[in-house]
Structure 1
Amino acid sequence: MKEMHSTQDVDDALRQDTAILFKHSTRCPISAAARGQMERFLERQPDAPVYTVDVHDAARASAYLSEKTGVEHHSPQVIVTRGGQPEWHANHFDVRAEELERRVGGG
């Protein structure tokens, strides 16, 4: 997972053909469960373009990501973009490795 700390990092991620953007909090047990799902996904898809942002430590980048994608902020949250546009997203306990694999063509 590549960490995003700035608005420039968000812009760089959104320039990718496909990006999997994971917003989370290190202070939240639901986020910890979602991070486990993301790690499980990456075990199966190690080359997947996953970017992560901590909603507290990089609050501006997190808010900017919501602005740029038009996806209402939640944490934890995963947003799949293609060509910089949101294609699918999931929040809280809906962040699941199997569904993410299905959405990005890996499962």
Structure 2
Amino acid sequence: MEWQELKEEQQLNHIKDLSSGEPVVIFKHSTRCSISSTALNRLERSWKPEEVNGIKPFYLDLLSFRNISNKIEDVFKVRHESPQLLIIKNGNCVYHASHMGINYEEIKKQLSA
């Protein structure tokens, strides 16, 4: 996966705009949490670009940019968890999962819906 780093709150406006043409995935990762590392590793091992073409994946380092996670909660109306994956379509969060509920097959299904 080619993650785009989420480092500025202004990027959330860009994500909302992007999501009108193609789905956006945001992965919120706590770099000191073994569950978060496991979830990220499982996702990256499973991710097949040919199955999820046109998806824009963003990565948020929660320890460095917790303020952005707070803003994500406000903008997309999803309570903060870590790790957490959100799918944004047409400016709205249409799916989110956390911890070991982050499942590639379910993500793939949601992205194709």
Tell whether the structures are fold-level matches, with TM greater than 0.5.
yes
- TM-score calculated relative to the size of structure 1: 0.89
Q: Distance in 2 between matches of 1:100 and 1:68?
A: 21
Using the aligned pairs only, state the percent identity. 25
Provide the aligned length of Structure 1 versus Structure 2.
106
After TM superposition, the runs of 4+ consecutive aligned structure 1 residues lying more than 4 A away are: none
- TM-score calculated relative to the size of structure 2: 0.85
Per-residue CA deviation, residues 41-87 of structure 1 (Å, 9 max, x unaligned), is 43343652111111111111111111100000000001111111010
What letter is aligned with 1:29? Answer: S
- What secondary structure sits across from 1:71 in the alignment? coil
What letter is aligned with 1:4? Answer: L
Post-superposition offset of 1:10? 2.0
Gaps of 5+ in 1: none
Gaps of 5+ in 2: none
1:56 and 2:72 are equivalent in the alignment? no
- What secondary structure sits across from 1:7 in the alignment? coil
Q: Which residue pairs with 2:7 in the alignment? A: 5
Q: Distance in 2 between matches of 1:86 and 1:48?
A: 14
Alpha-carbon RMSD: 1.7
- What secondary structure sits across from 2:10 in the alignment? helix
